[in-house]
Every structure is written in structure tokens, then in C-alpha cells.
Structure 1
Amino acid sequence: MKVELFVPCFIDQLYPETAFNTIRLLEKAGCEVTYNAEQTCCGQPAYNAGFWDEATVVGQKFLKDFSADHYIVSPSTSCTGMVKYSYNDLFTGSIEQSHCRSIQKNIFEISDFLVNVVKKDYFGAELEGIAVYHDACSALRECKIKDEPRHLLSKVLGLEMVEVKDSEVCCGFGGTFSVKFEGISSAMAEQKVKNAMDMHADYIISTDASCLLQLQAYIDQYRLPIKTIHLVDVLTAGWGNI
């Protein structure tokens, strides 16, 4: 199966290892991965800030950079949701509508793709510790992804998954929300981290780098004995020992 990799800005700039691990994971699942180095942003920051004309220009480039002939897979639910659903606001009735609809049918967040398209859930990962899973807002409310990451994590050797209080509550990032309402944003992150630590968790796992960035910033600020980790990095953990 041939797939095209979409690497979101956050991962490209801040978590490049997650991008490489996404390739490794997809190849382990039997996929042939291609990456268009010309790709940039999906337009979500501009769209969420209300600059739809600017978001449309960025979105037009996205539609040119990806093919409608293959699955497009991304390690981000927020960016996947932007293309899959919010592009309706930008391209309905436009000359790009037909191509956009084809792209929307083919784009998947990686846990959704592995469980529901490839139908594989075990990749030989090993990670010792206790972990909680954080439901990113875009995953849960937009992409309707809840069980898929948990199912994949249940197959990781040595990892004990525990359900945390308010796992479906926002981490406080919300793009520009964390800048405009810093106090509220920080308090929301504090509560998420506190709930995880109450469960004696070693890790907070999520599908979105933006959520992980928000929570890790709070953890680092107070030097707390817990860390965030992307789902993809968990599913490729311990491969050097296999």
C-alpha cells in the first residue's frame, strides 16, 4: 500500500523524530511511504484566527502538494481535521472542490489509519511505565477518534495504561488561546498534569504535538517527574531491542 506522509508544522519544527518514527511505523505496517518535501502548512493557524482568505491560499498549496490517488497519513488529528472538515468552508463551490473532496476522503490520522484501514495493531513496541492518554479536542470532537489510540497502546509491552480523570477535557492550548488567555491556559494544563500525577503516571500520551507542547511546558516549568510522549513515539519504542 502506497501512502503519502503529511508532517504538520509543529512536528516538523519541534518534534522531527516523531516524523521519522511515523515513517518507520508505516513501513512496519507494510506501507510504501512517500514524502513531498515541498509541503508546508495546512492553513489551520490562519483559519482559526479568522483569516480565511489567507488560509485558502495556504490550503490551495496543500491541495497541489498531495495526490488524490493514495492515502495521506498524518501524526496529527488537528491538522487532519482541518483538511478533512474545515476545508469545506474554504473550497466548497470553488474550482478546487472536486480535488479537495478526493483529498478529504483519503486523509487519515495515523491511529485511525492503522486500526481501521490497515487493520494492524501490534508493532512490537516496548515501554516500561504507567501512562495516561489525553484525548486531544480535535481527535475526540472533530475526527471522532477515541478507541483507536487506546487499542494500539494496549499492545505495547510493559506499558500499563490507566484512565485519568477528565481525559476528554482540553489541555488549554487551543492555538492562540494559550497566548490570549495565558492564565486560564496555564491553569488548564496544571489540572491535566495534576490528574495524571495523581494516577502515578510516568507518561502522558496523545496524538497531537500541540497538546504535548502545552503540557510539557508546564512540566518543565515546575520540573515535575512526568513526561509527555507522542503516540507514534510510543508505538516505535524499544525497536532497537527487537
Structure 2
Amino acid sequence: MRAALFVTCVNDALHPRTGVAAVRLLERLGVEVDFPAAQSCCGQPQYNTGHRREAEPLLRRTAEAFAGHRYVVTPSGSCTAMVRGHYPRIGRLARQEGRGGRLEAYAEDLAPRVYELSEFLVDVLGVTDVGAYYPHTVAYHPSCHGLRGLGLGERPRRLLAAVKGLELVELPGAEECCGFGGTFAVKNPDVSAAMGADKAAAAAAAGAGVLCGGDTSCLVHLDGILRRTGSPVRTVHLAEILASTEEEPLV
């Protein structure tokens, strides 16, 4: 099976280890991974700030970059939700405004081919035990886009529960937003920081040594709060935990 990796600009710029881990994991499971070099930002920052037309060139670029790939996998619920949930709307509005239907065709072609990493593993590959080893106590934070936008449900937790050596603990208030929310954190920094502090405190209260999530943006936000407060809790992306094995551990 072949799949294209949509690494996302946040991972590429701030935490490339997540993308490397995703490739390592997928290849271990027998997936041949392509990486279209033309990929770029999905346009979510522009769209969330109300600049819909400014997001259109990025929709077109993303669709063209991944044209011809049956499966497009991304370690980001946020970007997956943008492509699957908002791209069709952007294309539809462009057509209704009399600017043609090409953008809509791009969106409708790409959207059903894009999968968040845990979705791809569980729903397409049909696996929950990926052969991972990670001897740490872990709490899972379900990001808002993955939880509400994509309905990932228990998929990430099922994958974590099958990891050898991993102790999965319940995160109090797990379904509450961490406060990042993309441009929300910029527009409402005090509220964002307070929400993040609550999430960080919940991870510590759960006895977790590692706070795991499926969106690097949320983890970067929480990591900053944890570091500033001197907490021993670390943030680690789901892909990195699942890529770790006894032979090649990621700690």
C-alpha cells in the first residue's frame, strides 16, 4: 500500500520529529510513504481569521500536491478537519460567488482521501497493536478538532492501550479545550493561558509523566506552560509513541 504524508507546516517548522516518527511507523507497518515536496500550509490560519479568499490558493496548492494519491495521511486532527470539513465549503462558496467550480472540484476530490493518523491505522490498516514499546505513564489529550471535528473517539486511546510497557491514565477534564485554538491563542492570550494551565494541572494530577496528543499545535502550547511552571510532565505526539519500539526506543 502507498500513502502520501501531509506533514503539516507546524510539524515541519516546529517539531519535525513528529513527521519522521509518522514515516517510521507507517513504513514499519508495510506502507510505502510518499512525500510530495510541493505541499504547504493548508490555509487554516487564514480561514480561521476570516480571510477565506486568502486560503483559496493554499487549497488549490494542497489539492494539486496530493493529486493521484489514494491515501493522504497526516499526524494532525486540526489540518485533517480543515481539509475534510472546510475545503468543500470554501469551494462551494467560490462557485456561488460566480468564480467557477474548479476550486470546489479540487476540494471534493481531495477531502475524502485525507485521513488523520489514528484513523488511517485503525480504519484503513485495521490495526490497533502497532508493535510499539513505550515504558511510561501517559495521559491522552484529545484535541478539539480530532474529538469534535473528526469524531476520532477511542481510536487514539485504543492504539495507546496496545503499546507494550505503557500505562494509560485517565486525564481529568480530558474533553475540555487546552486553550490553543490556533488564532484564538493570539486573540485571547490570557484566556488561552488559563485554559492551558488547567490542562497542565490535570495531567500532573493524573500522575502522568507524558501528556500525549495528536496535534503538535496543542502540544507546543501545553509544553510551554509545563516548562514555565517547572513541571516534570513532557508532551509527546501520538506518532512518536507509536513509532517507538524496544529495538529503537524513542524516549
- SS where residue 138 of structure 2 aligns? strand
Q: Equivalents in 2 of 1:153, 1:117: separation in Å?
A: 17
- SS where residue 212 of structure 2 aligns? strand
CA shift for structure 1 position 195: 0.9
Deviations 1:28-76 (A, max 9, x none): 1211110011211100000000000100111111111112441000000
Aligned to 1:65: 65
Aligned length: 242
Task: For 1:9-158, list aligned pairs within 5 A.
Answer: 9-92=9-92, 93=95, 94-158=101-165
Shift in CA distance, 69/180, structure 1 to aligned 2, threshold 3 Å: closer
Aligned to 2:176: 169
Q: Is the 8 A contact 2:84 2:114 kept in 1?
A: yes
Q: Is the 8 A contact 1:68 1:99 kept in 2?
A: no
Deviations 1:185-220 (A, max 9, x none): 111111101111111110111100011001000011
CA shift for structure 1 position 241: 4.5
Q: Equivalents in 2 of 1:30, 1:198: separation in Å?
A: 38
Query: Once structures 1 and 2 are overlaid, which stretch shifts more, 119-128 or 69-78?
Result: 119-128
Q: Is the 8 A contact 1:130 1:202 kept in 2?
A: yes
TM-score, with length taken from structure 1? 0.96
Q: Equivalents in 1 of 2:28, 2:67: separation in Å?
A: 23
Q: Equivalents in 2 of 1:116, 1:21: separation in Å?
A: 20
Q: Equivalents in 1 of 2:9, 2:246: separation in Å?
A: 26
Q: Equivalents in 1 of 2:248, 2:112: separation in Å?
A: 37
TM-score, with length taken from structure 2? 0.93
Query: Once structures 1 and 2 are overlaid, which stretch shifts more, 95-104 or 44-53?
Result: 95-104
In the alignment, is residue 201 of structure 1 matched against residue 208 of structure 2? yes
CA shift for structure 1 position 100: 2.1
Q: Is the 8 A contact 1:68 1:102 kept in 2?
A: no
Deviations 1:100-154 (A, max 9, x none): 2121111100100000111012222111221111010000110101211001001
Aligned to 1:178: 185
Structure 1 unpaired stretches of 5+: none
Q: Equivalents in 2 of 1:212, 1:166: separation in Å?
A: 16
AA at the equivalent of 1:43: G
Structure 2 unpaired stretches of 5+: 96-100
Q: Is the 8 A contact 1:153 1:235 kept in 2?
A: yes
Q: Percent identity?
A: 37
CA shift for structure 1 position 240: 3.1
- SS where residue 60 of structure 2 aligns? helix
Q: Is the 8 A contact 2:91 2:105 kept in 1?
A: no
Q: Equivalents in 2 of 1:185, 1:52: separation in Å?
A: 24
